[in-house]
Amino acid sequence: MPRLAELCSSRLLVLVLAALLLVYRSPSPALEKRAPPGQETTKSQEPVPPPAPAARPLPVPVEEMRQAILAAALSGHIEELRVPLDWNELRPDVATKPGDDPIAYWKKSSGDGEGREILAALANMLQMRPAAVPLGKDLENNTIYVWPYLAEAKLEALSPSEEVDLLRLVSPDVAKAMREKKKWTWWRLTIGADGTWHSFKKAE
C-alpha cells in the first residue's frame, strides 16, 4: 500500500507540473511573428477608414449643417432639403431667381426629374473632406468651408488618391476637360464657420 500511495503521489505531481508548463510556457516564435503593417490577413484587418478629414475638426455649427444636408441627401427625397434650407435666415445661393423655390429648381435641374441626381451629388461631395478658405484675418470665424475640396485644388496636379476622388464625382471626360482648363466646373457647396449654408451651385 505505501508503494501504491507513493506511485499515485508521483503521478499527481507529474500532472501538476505538466499543467503548469502548459499555462506558463512562452508562445512559439511562429505565433509571435506578425505580418508587416499593411500585410495582415483579411480576417484581422480593421475596416477601411473614412476619407481623410480636414486638417482641423470642423466647427460644430458647420458639422451640424453638413450632417443635416447629408441626411436629407441620403433620404432620397429632395423635399427633405427644406429642413437645412429653413435653418438659414437667408436662402443659400442656388442659381435661381430671387423668390424661386430651390426645391423646384433642383428637380428641374436633375436628370431624373425628381431631384435624385442632385441628392447623389450632395451625398458624394459631403462625404469627402472640405477645403477651408480664409476670407479675413480671423480664421476661426471668417473661414468658408468648400465641398468638395477638389473645387479649390490644382486639378492638373492631383495625387492618385485625389484623382480617384475626382472620378467618384464626375465622368473621365469631364475630369479630363477640367484638368485641361485648370478650372472646376462641377457642383460646389459652401458653409460658413457659423453654420450658414451660403451656396450650392455649379461653378462658372
Q: What are phi and psi of 60, to 5 degrees?
A: -55, -45
pLDDT (mean) for 26-33? 40
pLDDT (mean) for 151-157? 95
Helix 102-109 vs helix 116-126: crossing angle, to nearest 10 = 100
- List Cβ neighbours of 161 (8 Å cut-off, separation of 6 or more): none
Least confident of 18-27, 87-96, 183-192: 18-27
pLDDT digit string (tens) for 101-138? Answer: 999 999 998 999 999 999 999 999 999 999 999 876 66
Average pLDDT of every residue of the chain: 79
Q: Find, among 3, 11, 14, 196, the residue nearest to 92 by Cα.
A: 196
Helix 172-181 vs helix 160-169: crossing angle, to nearest 10 = 120
- Of residues 60 and 204, more confidence is placed in 60
* SS3 state at 40: coil
pLDDT (mean) for 17-34? 42
Query: Is the CB of residue 94 less than 8 Å from the CB of residue 106?
Result: yes
Per-residue model confidence (pLDDT) at position 36: 42
Q: Find, among 105, 98, 53, the residue nearest to 78 by Cα.
A: 105
Per-residue model confidence (pLDDT) at position 138: 61
pLDDT band with cut points at 50, 70 and 90 for residue 98 = confident
**What is the rounded end-to-end Cα distance, in angstroms, of the chain?**
103
Q: What are phi and psi of 140, to 5 degrees?
A: -70, -35
Measured CA to CA in angstroms, residue 171 lies from 27, 59, 97, 168 at distances of: 53, 32, 29, 8
pLDDT digit string (tens) for 48-76? Answer: 334 445 557 899 999 999 999 999 999 99
Per-residue model confidence (pLDDT) at position 119: 97
pLDDT digit string (tens) for 172-184? Answer: 999 999 999 999 9
Q: What is the CB-side half-sphere exposure of residue 83 using CA atoms within 13 A?
A: 14
Per-residue model confidence (pLDDT) at position 46: 42
pLDDT band with cut points at 50, 70 and 90 for residue 97 = confident
Per-residue model confidence (pLDDT) at position 64: 96
Per-residue model confidence (pLDDT) at position 156: 92
Q: Is the pLDDT of residue 146 over 60?
A: yes
Q: Is the pLDDT of residue 30 over 70?
A: no
What's CA 19's distance to the chain center, in Å? 51
Task: Output the pTM of the full model.
Answer: 0.71
Q: Find, among 113, 131, 116, the residue nearest to 81 by Cα.
A: 116
Sheet holding 143-147, edge to edge: 131-134, 143-147, 187-192, 197-202
